[in-house]
Chains A and B, each alone.
Chain A
């Protein structure tokens, strides 16, 4: 199983200035300021489970932009109901990317209080039609093309290795900076 960073590198490399990237709190949000991202980024440092509904609000308001929302499995486990909300709203310009490592990585690596979740099955049960599991970073390019072309919102599920030794940088941008820099 591949670790996070190769997936994040691959995904970021596929984004264009016409996209919008919304990141959940934690490792992805901490890595992004250290990467070159072509798309505007709104990264959370608190508020678990807010990334997808925040991205939904952006996607519905700006149908001309494709919005990519990064969410962690611990965070989505807190409010999986949002999958049904997104499915019902149906914006074709929203792709959710779920990072599945079974742990609350940013709070010390505690295991999730759940048996391994079948996220694709849950997402389909919630009404999402386009759900794909991507097991290697090299598969992201085709998966994102397919997600962009789907007639409704898409979910990409990325099983990643949990690496307690990953040297994740600290939060290096403050919320005021993130907000001030975010323009569509």
Chain B
């Protein structure tokens, strides 16, 4: 299995029913694997804040939503994280491409890479960096379960090499 397939298997095992996404080149590859899933509805949205609200709506309706976006999009989401996810104590699981760290070959992502973890910490968002040497599916499942138990957000940061 590719890393993308292992991540999707983790989403399926965690009971995720709907994945809302704005793609970048990495998330686009992951969403291609989501679209091959018979268990998860892939939903393309126009902005990342929409993805957060859609996932929260799915959770409120008895499903399990997930948000698949780039870190640039996560940086857009401060308002809705505070005013919806945190305020209403709603589970919300994110898979976020960590563009701009040392593994990213594209130079123009670097400024986002520098601020991503600092922003997650400032926003008090629980997060982890995916470890492709370990069980990616289990890391996904743990993250989704954490959102349900904590009634809040969790962010799993991935790199392009995790999808191979």
Near B by CB (< 8 A), chain A positions 38-66 give: 42, 44-47, 49-50, 52-62, 65
**Interface of chain A: mostly helix, strand, loop or mixed:** helix
- In the bound complex, what is the Cα–Cα distance between A57 and B18 (angstroms)? 8
**Given the interface contacts A47-B79, A57-B56, does A175 sit within 8 Å of B88 by beta carbon?**
yes
Residue of A nearest to B50 (CB): A53
Residue A178 at the chain B interface, CB threshold 8 Å: yes
Residue B45 at the chain A interface, CB threshold 8 Å: yes
A155-180 interface mask toward B, CB cutoff 8 Å, 1 = contact, 0 = none?
00000000000000000000110110
Residue A112 at the chain B interface, CB threshold 8 Å: no
Say whether B61 contacts A61, CB under 8 Å. Answer: yes
Contacts of B65 in A (CB 8 A): 57, 61
Say whether A46 contacts B87, CB under 8 Å. Answer: yes
- Interface residues on chain A, number (Cβ under 8 Å): 34
Say whether A61 contacts B89, CB under 8 Å. Answer: no
**Given the interface contacts A47-B83, A175-B88, A178-B88, does A58 sit within 8 Å of B60 by beta carbon?**
yes
- In the bound complex, what is the Cα–Cα distance between A50 and B56 (angstroms)? 10
Residue of B nearest to A80 (CB): B46
